Amino acid sequence: MADVVPVSGSRALGDASGAFVGVAGLSESKAAFRDLVARSLVTMGFQLFDLEDEELIESAAQESSMDAELLTKAHALTVERPLVFGTFHAYHGGEPS
């Protein structure tokens, strides 16, 4: 789960102060995954604030801790498309809405 904030000048979230979004990807390490997520978010007008609950896709699927939509997208990951995002859930003032 990524906690994101809009980059300066971005109106991607309207007047919301941030958002939570599920993310799945192919990576060699947690550090490489974090870097891939951060770089991808910048292209969408966001900055990565925090990344938590990182786990292998297989583990998340077995424990049912991954959103079904994101899990479906995760099955389509390839080297050419190594990252997918779920639905962005905006929040105001530090609380999810």
Is pLDDT at 18 greater than 90 in this prediction?
yes
What DSSP string runs through 8-55?
Answer: TT--TTTT-SEEEE-EEE--SSHHHHHHHHHHHHHHTTEEEEEE----
Domain boundary assignment for the chain: 2-96
User: Average pLDDT in the 24-38 region?
Assistant: 91
The dihedrals phi and psi of 87, each to the nearest 5 degrees, come to: -80, 135
Is pLDDT at 97 greater than 50 in this prediction?
no
Tokens 């300066």 belong to: 8
Q: Which two tokens stand for residue 5?
A: 């904030």
Mean of pLDDT over the chain? 86
Residue pLDDT, tens place only, 33-78: 999 999 999 999 999 999 987 765 655 555 556 788 888 898 899 9
